[in-house]
Structure 1
């Protein structure tokens, strides 16, 4: 549990695929925290530029020119395996390189300070979280340690744990993780307290940059939020819409000039940037253009892009959203006429066609736009952070959350079938047990494979982990009984235990690095690395400041010498000594741009000492 009130402020972070947002309870209300550029959302991008690490706006702004070393979409890699079909598809589109690491873990490769560096998705995400933490600390004027981080409702256990690991690497104590649509519903509930009488049914339609979630829940008067069902896709969002635009432009370029862009990563980076900008424009106008000078082999590229074409390219994804919505209503056993509010969350819900299809589905029902789609998730996370950290304000204290597990959980049984222990959309926290029996005579070891998903064949689902319980007494098959217990905590993270009934021997599932988790040692190393990069970044900024100060000093001194030369108020020989010192320092700066901070600072002090007579005339 975090400390009380303002002594230990707890923040809420929406760690998004394309943009992230941070908020805090302050002055008896939730405040969205701006970053160092004054923006209320921060691009989820990290760039390695020469000797500097850029995070957020700086990284995104230089991305078209440094695409191979600018990392985005880390959320689409986190908690996944390199062999995952979605990862393989994305790799064809990313300008940066992804390789296979140990235990099928994807690793991002960049060039930094002239060397090849490899990073896990958790490390990149931790850099973004550290940026949000830093923004909060500057805003609040105090150290921040505790945070509530949101995740897509359809994230599996590995993705949730990996997100929690990223928070730990960033120096945060993750006191709670909640689902993004649930956080948005909390934001809506608190902003519309007076309008909620009794109980209302709300549907949260959350279409962001990289993930899509639908949640159906009830909000009761007094601040009780109960999730009835969730559905979604952790690989559907604005990034996919951008990709289809990029593909269309690549095809058009090839059609016009018979040249293939796909091998030119810099050109693709520039094109992606332009397509994202065009996509945003098409939400408020029916036509825009993409214009890029010297895109490939000196060829200028220009083409008109209208809203109808954009909708045609992405109609498959839009239809998938509606199909997922129907599944969610079925799971919640609710007719669409019973939904009283449809809340739009995520930047991609601004797309006119998405809104039009939603209105049609709900028989021309007006969509709720009272919450900011970019900030609602962070707002709700900050409410939960305030509650968990002990804020006594009634509006926060009374919030009660009843969430559900998004996917079924079970074990593999004979015939490679999935035996479900906890069905999807079960309220959490929860636990459930099932009994299983040995499958052959004198079996001494029982393997337990834990899966998450909805397919009948276990191998078609996501393997969370596996372990074995040994020491089974010799007996005919079917005679020895084993109890397998699944327990899901309030963060949606799973623990599995297996025990032999006749002996009482028990074993707990520990999902090791081989199963996609990071070990304690690896997390500690990443925390150490994060501190190292932070220190290096601070040193770089310190050196850059000293370099600029020395250049300013040289400029000022040279101008002052000119003035004194005209006035002849300082002896000619003294002026010559000063000029010589300034010229030597200028040459040294030109020949040694990598001079350390101490050397730059000493040169400035030396110049100030040599030129001191100028200021006493």
Structure 2
């Protein structure tokens, strides 16, 4: 059984697996420990991960990135419009949701963000299968802590489309905290150790204040800057060099999307060099109009034009500390996670805020995926993991509203069921008095702290089959609401209860104590006859009630349609890959057999055979680079079989001769050793040794 943690990043996706030796981050087909979070479409198949990155510039109009920023968003969301400048493909409205329009199999295709993330997860699944050599199903996927209910449901839908079973959606900072705490053997038993987990990735800045005790962690508070990350530094660099090159070379890079992509790739490398050096060069060949450009940037210059970004660094830190009720002195350690935390000016700003050295005990690029793998191992029956409880929190307050009952005029019509920083998972039970079915609306209450453009509505739940009691009174209906492990809110169940009378035995000691108090401790009371039972009223569940739910989860019909489409595209990808593999195998065999025909196979082939095979090889090679450059898998297999039919007898003669030569050498060695008086036991040539005579008798 697989135990997999997936860090679904905006730039890269990292995969970790739990093995008996610990947690390992697995590599992809190009031996990289992180896979680009890109999906690209071509004339014959899709390109997922590394292949998409390879042709991102040449096929940018059919390549979609920033998938984590798109999933679960509505088309009219202002933050979706921000992402347009980072994505080459055209973003479109798909029934109110954001999607992308691409050219696939020589025709226009429109896919939702959920489908695009499902395609990426399909790639993650295949990479993991190739590594583990076993089926992959159970996973834990990390998401930003600020993800809304709708976004979380969309990630679960994408995982389902890809054939995965998410045991949990875990917040990025919580995953890092788990990876930090579960390996610590010195955590205190009583007074908690408070640690600040700071994660600055490609597009997101998250802070969590976490309290650690032996065997558990509790998230005290979280804070975010949803538009602060490594790509914002890249944009600042792109703007700087675009302006410089316009004056220096008289070219307008921003007028050419491909030129912008080339510059973006170059500044990303420059940024990494500047993190370790005081200055770094940039050089791009043929960026546009056959123009080569180059320049040098000093670290001080970078820090100067990113000052507006640096001024925002302390805002989430202050908010997280205030919400936790702690001071800077209460923080035991400041753990840094995420690729952007390598930027020196960022590190200095955070270190100065806390007044202490930063800690980098966690792997900045892999901490989230490792923590997610630990979470998966905890939930999986396949692994025995050290007991470690994770108490997370919900970032947004959630309320339930309903229509008032006509016969109860002063009834409240709303209730804050899950306040901000409510524990996750968590269950609450609401009691209603009703004579007929009723509806509950679930929504966020504070628009100001929600991601811009997020609809407050979470879901609508209608409790059915509610009727008056036999006496015509209100039925007592209890509704169970829950925030589950994924951080998703739902009305899990509803039931109608009735009040019944029960005869309950009264403990004798309690009766005697009561009588003693009433009669001033008269010792004679102890012998007085008293009743041993009493009548009590209790609520008893009478029947479960059906619930009709409307929320952000895909409908069954749409889910099935998306699964079918993903399956057909995956089959197309597999067929193209197998076809390319057969083509490469044929090409490789052509050159191999031709070389050997002129060398080691030459003594074993007649001149006629050489002529026939040589002509066949030439004809096949000409076909391969003409008509066969793009054909079906079966044609490549057929061509290979034609060559094997002619070359097979020649190859067999060669192998027979080699085997005969080997046997002669072995016999000569045995004869030499026997001549020297050595006792040599000859082999049986693979046959079973003769049965001893006494064993034959027994049989």
Q: Deviations over 1:491-537 (max 9, x none)?
A: 2101158999999998857344xxx5422222223223333233222
Counterpart for residue 492 of structure 1 = 487
Structure 1 segment 473-488 matched on structure 2, within 5 A: 486-488=481-483
Q: Distance in 2 between matches of 1:587 and 1:349?
A: 55
Q: CA RMSD in A?
A: 3.8
Q: Is the 8 A contact 1:418 1:457 kept in 2?
A: no
Q: Distance in 1 between matches of 2:152 and 2:424?
A: 15
Q: Distance in 1 between matches of 2:402 and 2:274?
A: 51
Q: Deviations over 1:87-111 (max 9, x none)?
A: 1022033222211111x21112222
Q: Are residues 24 and 576 of structure 1, via their aligned partners in 2, closer, same or farther at CA, if it must alter by over 3 Å? A: closer
Q: Is the 8 A contact 1:12 1:23 kept in 2?
A: yes
Q: Is the 8 A contact 1:287 1:304 kept in 2?
A: yes
1:353 alignment partner, one of 342, 345, 355: 345
2:8 alignment partner, one of 12, 15, 20: 15
Counterpart for residue 528 of structure 2 = none
1:426 alignment partner, one of 415, 422, 427: 422
Counterpart for residue 159 of structure 1 = 151
Q: Are residues 153 and 84 of structure 1, via their aligned partners in 2, closer, same or farther at CA, if it must alter by over 3 Å? A: same
2:588 alignment partner, one of 536, 539, 552: 552
Structure 1 segment 84-483 matched on structure 2, within 5 A: 84-102=77-95, 104-194=96-186, 196=188, 198=190, 199-221=192-214, 223-363=215-355, 365-390=356-381, 393=384, 396-410=385-399, 420-432=416-428, 448=441, 450-451=443-444, 453-455=446-448, 462-465=455-458, 467=460
| CA-CA distance at 1:568 after TM superposition | 12
Q: Deviations over 1:88-139 (max 9, x none)?
A: 022033222211111x211122223322222222222223323332333333
SS in 2 for 1:340: strand
SS in 2 for 1:382: helix
TM-score (norm 1): 0.85
Q: Deviations over 1:200-253 (max 9, x none)?
A: 0111101111222111110102x2111111111344322222223223333333
Q: Are residues 461 and 549 of structure 1, via their aligned partners in 2, closer, same or farther at CA, if it must alter by over 3 Å? A: closer
Counterpart for residue 36 of structure 2 = 43
| CA-CA distance at 1:484 after TM superposition | 8.8
- 5+ residue gaps, structure 2: 404-412, 468-475, 499-542, 655-699
Q: Deviations over 1:454-493 (max 9, x none)?
A: 43999975333454869999xxxxxxx9999753112210
Q: Are residues 458 and 93 of structure 1, via their aligned partners in 2, closer, same or farther at CA, if it must alter by over 3 Å? A: closer
Q: Are residues 454 and 576 of structure 1, via their aligned partners in 2, closer, same or farther at CA, if it must alter by over 3 Å? A: same
Q: Distance in 2 between matches of 1:500 and 1:568?
A: 85
**Structure of greater Rg:** 2
Q: Distance in 2 between matches of 1:549 and 1:562?
A: 20
SS in 2 for 1:219: strand
Counterpart for residue 4 of structure 1 = none
- 5+ residue gaps, structure 1: 1-7, 438-443, 474-480
Q: Deviations over 1:515-560 (max 9, x none)?
A: x542222222322333323322222222112212222333344445
SS in 2 for 1:64: coil
Moved more, 428-437 or 202-211: 428-437
| CA-CA distance at 1:304 after TM superposition | 2.1
Q: Is the 8 A contact 1:455 1:461 kept in 2?
A: no
SS in 2 for 1:326: helix
Q: Deviations over 1:114-167 (max 9, x none)?
A: 222222222222233233323333333221211111111111111111111121
Q: Distance in 2 between matches of 1:447 and 1:71?
A: 38
1:510 alignment partner, one of 540, 544, 549: 549
Q: Distance in 1 between matches of 2:174 and 2:244?
A: 42
Q: Distance in 1 between matches of 2:349 and 2:623?
A: 65
| CA-CA distance at 1:604 after TM superposition | 1.5
Moved more, 597-606 or 32-41: 32-41
Moved more, 248-257 or 325-334: 248-257
SS in 1 for 2:312: helix
Within the alignment, does 1:582 sit opposite 2:614 as a pair? no
Q: Are residues 554 and 206 of structure 1, via their aligned partners in 2, closer, same or farther at CA, if it must alter by over 3 Å? A: same
Q: Are residues 461 and 87 of structure 1, via their aligned partners in 2, closer, same or farther at CA, if it must alter by over 3 Å? A: closer
Q: Distance in 2 between matches of 1:570 and 1:564?
A: 13
Q: Deviations over 1:299-351 (max 9, x none)?
A: 22222233233333433333323101111111111112111111111111111
1:595 alignment partner, one of 622, 631, 638: 631
Moved more, 501-510 or 159-168: 501-510
Counterpart for residue 536 of structure 2 = none
Q: Is the 8 A contact 1:466 1:509 kept in 2?
A: no
Q: Are residues 501 and 463 of structure 1, via their aligned partners in 2, closer, same or farther at CA, if it must alter by over 3 Å? A: farther
TM-score (norm 2): 0.76
Q: Is the 8 A contact 1:122 1:162 kept in 2?
A: yes
Counterpart for residue 67 of structure 2 = 74
Q: Distance in 1 between matches of 2:197 and 2:451?
A: 30
